[in-house]
């Protein structure tokens, strides 16, 4: 039997997380306070403390929610796709998430301010590298990508490119990535790493997905 009180409590908890993400995006992790989160959420400070004991717990929850959102988004976008197509679909799906979801953007801002070398955040990058390495390995085995590529090294480069584009977008302009920002990165990746006969089909897929996301 469902318990409406629990559902309401979970909804209120998420209200706090979204408000914290909004504040982090606006002022940065170093300036966020529980008072600002309370103001953004429309909840009393005491209500927030019913869910989280400290500000750090709230920030940790933003990171956890961002990670969950990213994995769900990629899994849905990739579906049965494999190899280069899977990697392109994953990258464009993450673009859409970062464009439309404040929690995803706040998580990226936390990565920028705390640094991916921070142990708290680094393991998430390792998980992304592991997942994307599988896509590159499949591409090599299928003949889509060059046989001389080191799948792990290529994946580190791709994850670094993507992270750099998304993180720097907030410094040089609006903190929302766009097809204009991610498109050149995908072009460089495809031209440099795909076998010649697969370059244009993969570029066509990237352009199609980016047009749909724009």
The full set of domains in the chain, from first to last, is 63-213 (1.10.357.10)
pLDDT tens for 14-67 read: 999 999 999 998 888 889 999 999 999 999 999 999 999 999 999 989 988 988
- Token representation of residue 43: 């909840």
Average pLDDT, the chain: 84
Query: If you average pLDDT over residues 202-212, what whole number do you get?
Result: 92
Is the pLDDT at 138 greater than 80? The verdict is yes
Q: Residue 3's pLDDT band (boundaries 50, 70, 90)? A: very low
Write down the pLDDT at residue 5. 53
- Token representation of residue 126: 């390792």
- Token representation of residue 120: 């708290």
Is the pLDDT at 4 greater than 60? The verdict is no
Write down the pLDDT at residue 152. 92
State the sign of the Cα–Cα–Cα–Cα dihedral 73, 75, 79, 85: positive
pLDDT tens for 162-189 read: 666 666 655 545 555 666 677 888 898 8
């Amino acid at each position: 039997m469902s318990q409406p009180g629990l559902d309401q409590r979970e909804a209120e908890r998420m209200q706090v997380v979204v408000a914290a993400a909004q504040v982090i995006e606006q002022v940065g992790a170093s300036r966020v306070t529980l008072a600002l989160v309370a103001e953004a959420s429309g909840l009393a400070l005491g209500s927030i403390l019913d869910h989280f004991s400290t500000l750090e717990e709230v920030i940790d929850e933003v990171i956890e929610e961002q990670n969950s959102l990213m994995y769900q988004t990629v899994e849905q976008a990739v579906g049965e796709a494999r190899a280069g197509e899977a990697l392109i679909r994953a990258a464009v799906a993450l673009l859409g998430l970062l464009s439309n979801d404040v929690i995803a953007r706040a998580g990226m801002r936390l990565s920028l301010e705390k640094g991916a070398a921070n142990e708290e955040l680094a393991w998430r990058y390792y998980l992304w590298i592991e997942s994307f390495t599988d896509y590159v390995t499949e591409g090599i085995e299928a003949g889509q990508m060059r046989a001389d590529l080191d799948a792990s090294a290529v994946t580190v480069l791709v994850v670094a490119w993507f992270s750099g584009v998304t993180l720097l977008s907030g410094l040089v302009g609006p903190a929302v990535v766009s097809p204009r920002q991610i498109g050149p990165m995908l072009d460089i990746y495809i031209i440099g790493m795909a076998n010649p006969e697969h370059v244009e089909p993969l570029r066509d897929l990237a352009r199609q997905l980016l047009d749909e996301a724009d």
